[in-house]
Amino acid sequence: MEKIIAGYTVDVTEEGYLTQMNQWNKEIAEAIAKELGIHELTEGHWKVIEFLRKDFAETEKVPTTRRIKNVGNIPTKDLYDLFPDGPVLKAAKIAGISKPVSCV
């Protein structure tokens, strides 16, 4: 389905995750963050978002908190402080990549 975010028309899933990562830009990220209750994206947020986009482009998988810690050098504690209550779910949505696959 299509949705207008920050004035741009993008393709999203029913839960609002972008389906085309190339339709993403920083204004869209800021708008999604606000919807999720994060009013300002700081340098710390951008570090996570950029790692998520880079890693997703390379592996086609949303990285886990462990991978964000080990490969992205972002401590899990920081991740929870930046994106409270479900950090990877929120960060992935803001970064314009898929929803993390829920585990079994």
* Residues making contact with other proteins (CB under 8 A): 63-67, 70-71, 76-77, 79-80, 84-86, 101-104
Choice between 96 and 100, CB closer to other proteins:
100
* 103 annotated active-site: yes
Helix (H) or strand (E) holding 9: strand 8-11
Q: Do the beta carbons of residue 96 and residue 23 sit within 8 Å? A: yes
Where helices occur in 36-83 by DSSP H, the ranges are: 43-59, 65-70, 76-82
Report, in Å, the least distance between residue 68 CB and other proteins.
9
Residues 6+ apart with CB under 8 A from 69: 75, 76, 79
Report, in Å, the least distance between residue 30 CB and other proteins.
23
Catalytic hit among 1, 4, 101, 103: 103
Half-sphere exposure of 27 (CA within 13 A, CB side): 8
Report, in Å, the least distance between residue 10 CB and other proteins.
25
Choice between 26 and 84, CB closer to other proteins:
84
Choice between 63 and 96, CB closer to other proteins:
63
Tell me which residues are annotated as active site: 103
